[in-house]
Copies of this chain bind each other. A is one copy, B any other.
């Protein structure tokens, strides 16, 4: 937990309503950090369903393997998350540690081992001592209560400079159901210190199949549309839990992919996930600028997204933003290197509302001072029109500053 909060942090935190069927507690287990909470337990009422999406890494952490394996059951009663140790690349010791962690939590929650989801974030390659959880688990289980969203978000922070929380309410059948989420992540990944984790909870009753469709469907334009440094964690995990408590209040279960109510849910959940994902970028290591990259006119949406990520991951684009320079030449470079269909002579580029290039050359109307004001802003939009088709995409990134190097290169010195 850094002491200086990112200048891009949200200016206020939302009030998080309680979600019936979800209770939290946190503790100082001393996994690595001292003087701060580093473990969170969520207790979930019987009947809770679950969906998940995970890192695409070919070298996933032991908790990712664990969650993928038990996800097929579709039900959950507990979630145990720690910071300070990622339990990644820990071999046989890693799988032993997750089994023991789940057993400890299951015993204290009175549920089956394969109903306990796990996530870990922190140092990679160090064996995780599940005994640390054993020492605090009974106190954790005794202390769970429904209002601890911010405390839960704080316990999972690593290089994060602020906790990430968001909430959304949807009206169904004249009654409100709620989605609350927490997240962490400060590099897209820094396996020694960071990783993207998010846990979302709702009191709606949603079948596992529909829940997975909702989560997978909304991940693309949220957590999979942000980048800090192009590096992918061994541990990225997003879990969505539905306690079903709203069913008792007369909100019918969502168990059909053709249910007309799903459109409203997708929109609300998608906005909330995008909000959490953007909060991660706003806490990007060393970030001083938040950048939205809009690509349109591509041959397809997939092609547009590849080009947008090529721009958003380019060290030269990101250092130019840090230097408050509307360096559209580097945007051209990043479009060109993406390997996707592009016609140099049809390209147009904007910084904010200022068109800097058109028809493959500098906009004749453009003067550097026009974009200078845009580049001084905290939030910057880079827009590219490829002029080829109707494919479009939007991703979010941050600038690349010396502070990123300091966080990731100087920490041992």
Question: Within the complex, what minimum Cβ distance (angstroms) separates A38 from chain B?
Answer: 19
Contact (Cβ within 8 A) B59 A359? no
A125 within 8 A of B: yes
Contact (Cβ within 8 A) A322 B405? yes
Cβ-neighbour of A323 out of B189, B361, B401, B410 (below 8 A) = B410
Give bound CA distance, A187 to B320, whole Å: 14
Give bound CA distance, A345 to B94, whole Å: 11
Nearest residue in B to A327 (C-beta to C-beta)? B192
> Residues of B contacting A324 with CB < 8 Å?
412-413
Flag the segment in A104-112, A237-245, A335-343 that touches B: A335-343
> Residues of B contacting A233 with CB < 8 Å?
333
Give bound CA distance, A246 to B329, whole Å: 43
> Residues of B contacting A336 with CB < 8 Å?
55, 57-60, 232, 234
Contact (Cβ within 8 A) A91 B361? yes
Give bound CA distance, A411 to B319, whole Å: 10
Contact (Cβ within 8 A) B191 A56? no
Give bound CA distance, A343 to B65, whole Å: 13
Question: Within the complex, what minimum Cβ distance (angstroms) separates A324 from chain B?
Answer: 7
Contact (Cβ within 8 A) A357 B89? yes
> With contacts A315-B315, A323-B411 known, is A231 near B91, CB below 8 A?
no
A292 within 8 A of B: no
> Residues of B contacting A148 with CB < 8 Å?
none
Contact (Cβ within 8 A) A59 B91? no
Most chain B beta-carbon contacts within 10 A, residue among A59, A229, A322: A59
Give bound CA distance, A127 to B400, whole Å: 29
> Residues of B contacting A339 with CB < 8 Å?
56, 58
Contact (Cβ within 8 A) A402 B405? yes
A266 within 8 A of B: no
A404 within 8 A of B: yes
A280 within 8 A of B: no
Cβ-neighbour of A332 out of B234, B316, B342 (below 8 A) = B234
Q: Report copies per complex.
A: 2
Cβ-neighbour of A401 out of B124, B189, B361, B405 (below 8 A) = B405
* Binary contact readout A249-278 vs B (1 if CB under 8 angstroms, 0 otherwise): 000000000000000000000000000000
> Residues of B contacting A209 with CB < 8 Å?
none
Cβ-neighbour of A191 out of B94, B313, B329, B340 (below 8 A) = B329
> Residues of B contacting A219 with CB < 8 Å?
none
A103 within 8 A of B: no
* Binary contact readout A373-413 vs B (1 if CB under 8 angstroms, 0 otherwise): 00000000000000000000000000111101110111111
For chain A, residues 47 to 81, give those with C-beta under 8 angstroms from any C-beta of chain B.
55-60
> Residues of B contacting A347 with CB < 8 Å?
59, 89
Contact (Cβ within 8 A) B360 A89? yes
Give bound CA distance, A356 to B399, whole Å: 33
A150 within 8 A of B: no
Contact (Cβ within 8 A) A405 B319? yes
Question: Within the complex, what minimum Cβ distance (angstroms) separates A347 from chain B?
Answer: 7
Cβ-neighbour of A361 out of B90, B191, B315, B338 (below 8 A) = B90
Contact (Cβ within 8 A) A412 B187? no
Contact (Cβ within 8 A) B413 A316? no
> Residues of B contacting A93 with CB < 8 Å?
361
Contact (Cβ within 8 A) B91 A345? yes
* Binary contact readout A296-340 vs B (1 if CB under 8 angstroms, 0 otherwise): 000000000000000001111001101111011110111111111
Contact (Cβ within 8 A) B91 A360? yes
Mind listing 15 A-B residue pairs with CB under 8 Å? A58-B338, A59-B332, A89-B362, A91-B359, A124-B330, A125-B361, A126-B362, A187-B316, A191-B316, A315-B404, A315-B408, A319-B404, A324-B412, A400-B405, A405-B405
**List of 3 A-B pairs having minimum Cβ-Cβ separation, nearest first:** A124-B329, A91-B361, A59-B336
